[in-house]
Chains A and B, each alone.
Chain A
Amino acid sequence: MGVYTAELNRTGSTPDIGSIEAPASSMRRVALMKAEFGIDATPADATLVWQMIRLSAAATGTAVTPNPVNPADAAAVTLAKDVITAGGTEGVLLESVPLNQRATYTWVGYGDGELIIPATANAGIKLKNAASSTLGATATVTFRE
């Protein structure tokens, strides 16, 4: 079981920053342990809404290669995507925090608090800034599989 991190960036045409998804083969459960959200644009006052949403159909975007925290671990099987062009099918809203653009938001889950993605095709968790589809945003996720 390895722990991986991936940096996801919103530069696509949707409010979605990125997603992590169960792969179609070699399926296994994925546990999201940490998510950090921030704006990498010029500081300004605006209201943003950071969200984590469950996906039941995969998003379309650019593949990101998750980095293993332990370099000895094998490459991640879990799919990470950013520059999302089609957001997939959204399910349960897991987290929604409205904040000023100048703020950064970090959530950490441990033990039973981790967000678990079931080992089913196209299941995943998407991170988005629901308030803007133009502002550059970045999210760093840490997960284990």
Chain B
Amino acid sequence: MSARVTGYARITDPGGMREHDTFTCAHCQRIIHVRTRADPASCGGLCKLCMGLVCPGCNARGKCDPWEKKMERAESRERFLRAAGLTE
């Protein structure tokens, strides 16, 4: 899991500083904290289609819909609506 982390979270309080690796769900972009020696299953899973790490919710959903594809759909819809004069 640690080879695929794409971020970190740092909490600083009067008791000191703690850091966790994080990854961003490849499907919904939710930030998942990876705690030391955590059961990998509790962090989510690996989508075997897009090979991205996904959050527990997207893992349970069991279908591959990467964030990049979602953005492309939203942007092409926006371009179509603009071309049709249906947005400001």
Contact = CB atoms under 8 A, between A and B. Distances in A.
Given A94-B29, A99-B11, A102-B13, A121 B24 contact: no
24 contacts: A52-B31, A94-B29, A95-B30, A102-B13, A106-B9, A107-B8, A107-B22, A107-B31, A109-B6, A109-B22, A110-B6, A110-B7, A112-B52, A113-B23, A114-B6, A114-B24, A115-B24, A116-B29, A118-B70, A119-B71, A119-B75, A120-B74, A121-B88, A123-B74
Is the interface on chain B under 10, 10 to 19, 20 to 34, or 35 or more residues?
Answer: 20 to 34
Interface of A: 24, 27, 29, 52, 54, 92-95, 97, 99-100, 102-116, 118-121, 123
Nearest to B33: A97
B29 A24 contact: no
